[in-house]
Amino acid sequence: MSSATLYKSHIAARQHAAEAALAAAGFDGMVIQAGMPFTYFADDQDAPFRTTPHFTHWVPLDGPHHLLHIRPGERPLLVRVRPEDYWYEQAPLGNPFWLEAFEFHEVADLGKAWKLIQKSGRTAYIGDDPAGSGIAAEQCNPDALVKRLDWDRAYKTEYEIACLEQATISGARGHAAARQCFLEGGSELEIHHAFVEAVGCTDRELPYETIVALDDRGAILHYCGKRTQRNGKVLLIDCGAKHNGYGSDITRTWTSRSADTLFQDLLHGMDQLQRELCEMVRPGLPYLAIHEAAHVKIADLLHKHGILKVGGAQAVAEGLTGPFFPHGIGHFLGVQVHDVGGRQAAPEGGVMPPPKSFPYLRTTRTIEANQVFTIEPGVYFIEMLLRPFRSGSQTSMIDWKLVDRLASHGGIRIEDNVVAIPGGQKNLTRPHI
């Protein structure tokens, strides 16, 4: 179906969910603001602008200030703020596929935009400039309403899934170019440029800062440096692309011919292991179960290649997988790369914390249809995490010669974007990479 057709159903779903959330939280309407630009401290340079996620959930309109007024039983009112300005480009809107869903106005400044918002009854404000809204403080970003909006974002419409898939296709194009650059001996900086050029965007338009890690830097989970040294043995690249405000989140690890054959064997095993974890995704399964399965499978992989002297559940119980796999298996994906609500207990709020043994697990809910997750197991050689195991009762359970042999290779992470569907899952990433 066309974007316009999918979007029409998406807006109908948003209106229905918003009306229910407003009624439950005791409001007669809400105004969502696109966001306010801000400058760095003691500087006149603007920070990169990010649209308020709840605004993007309704409409892929870029830029700050815009207002969206949601009222039960009425067509949403969208006010675009387009100042007359010669400092920055103020591009004409044209006729985007989403326009007919709204009562639309365009004004030159925020003051005029607020004059078009006819508030009646109890109106909530969602955004980062409540002082300019004229709405009572207790009605600005009210927790009861925000929690329900966060909860609703976990369930993706067909339009949202189509956007995420298109973002994945664009990201896959970038990954293919990055891999080719790596195999030709490219540096981290050159690989980054290859990715961005293939996606066809600027750095600011990416959903998150690229992770392009050669060799030992792969052991830094959020490494964002861009070294100019060339001819790496291993590339760990975590990069995504955006489409209509929705971002993909894709990681791959590639090796050159100079990589240790043991590391290449580990990578092959991790690829198979990650596919198996993706195939576990289905409605009714606690997301924690996938994380627990990942630790068992990683233990078996490390045991198979001699790095651990024990494998499976025994290695997990001994805490041996923690230093090799220190992060969670994944997270919700949507308007935000780490989308909201992963630990939320109910529409009303509440938190389901992860087990103490897995503190970085971002999602603790039971999987439901139309939720989108990343599945991203990893194995890393991080000295600060391995150091405590070099002495004490568990030191004999690890082959330290193999650990030291592989340390210069950094680590492995493989990440796909997966949709839960009735009875199973759809992998958005594998058909394209």
Q: How high is the pLDDT of residue 392? A: 86
Mean pLDDT of the chain: 97
Question: Which ranges in 51-210 belong to alpha helices (H)?
Answer: 53-56, 110-115, 143-152, 158-183, 188-199
CA angle 84, 47, 126 (to 5 degrees): 75
CA dihedral (190, 195, 197, 202) in degrees, to 10, reads -100
Q: What percent of the chain has pLDDT over 90?
A: 97
Asked if residue 329 lies in contact with residue 361, where contact means CB atoms within 8 angstroms, the answer is: yes
Is 283 exposed, middle or buried (CB count within 10 Å of its CB: 0-12, 13-18, 19+)? middle
Cβ atoms of residues 338 and 332 within 8 Å: yes
CA pair distance 414, 210, nearest whole angstrom: 15
318: CB partners within 8 A, 6+ apart: 310, 394, 397
**Strand 103-107 versus strand 77-81 pairing type:** parallel
pLDDT, tens digit (0-9, with 9 covering 90-100), for 370-427: 999 999 999 999 999 999 999 989 999 999 999 999 999 999 999 999 999 999 999 9
Where are the domains positioned within the chain?
3-152, 158-427
Give the three-state DSSP class for 410: coil
Residue 184, pLDDT above cutoff 90:
yes
Q: What is the per-residue pLDDT for 132?
A: 86
Q: What's the pLDDT band for 69 if we cut at 50, 70, 90?
A: very high
Scanning 223-320, the segments in alpha helix (DSSP H) are: 261-280, 287-304, 312-317
- The HSE-up count of residue 319 (CA atoms within 13 Å, CB side) is 10
| Furthest C-alpha separation in the chain | 72
The pLDDT value given to residue 54: 98
- CA 22 from chain centre, in angstroms, equals 27
* Domain 3-152 architecture: 3-Layer(aba) Sandwich (3.40)
pLDDT at position 417: 98
Report which DSSP code applies to 39.
Answer: B
pLDDT, tens only, 189-206: 999 999 999 999 999 999
DSSP codes of every residue in 97-125: TTGGGSEEEEESSHHHHHHT----SSEEE
Which CATH class for the 158-427 domain?
A: alpha beta
pLDDT of residue 264: 98
Could you give the CA distance from residue 151 to residue 345 in angstroms, rounded to a whole number?
9
The predicted pLDDT at position 378 comes to 98
Give pLDDT, residue 270: 98
298 pLDDT higher than 90:
yes
376 vs 427: CA distance, rounded Å: 13
Q: Are the C-beta atoms of 429 and 168 separated by less than 8 Å? A: yes
Say yes or no to pLDDT of 243 above 90.
yes
Instruction: Read off the pLDDT of residues 323-338 as tens digits, 9 standing for 90 and up.
Output: 999 999 999 999 999 9
Residues 6+ apart with CB under 8 A from 373: 281, 287, 330, 331, 332, 333, 363, 367, 417, 418, 420
Contacts of 348-351 with CB under 8 Å at 24 or more apart are 348/24, 348/144, 348/147, 348/148, 349/143, 349/144, 349/147
Structure tokens at 38: 């801000």
Does 112 score more than 90 pLDDT? yes
Quote the pLDDT of residue 1: 80
Query: pLDDT tens for residues 6-62?
Result: 999 999 999 999 999 999 999 999 999 999 999 999 999 999 999 999 999 999 999
| Structure confidence at residue 215 (pLDDT) | 98
Fold match, 3-152 / 158-427: no
CB 27 within 8 A of CB 122: yes
158-183 vs 3-25: helix axis angle to the nearest 10? 120
The model carries a pTM of 0.96
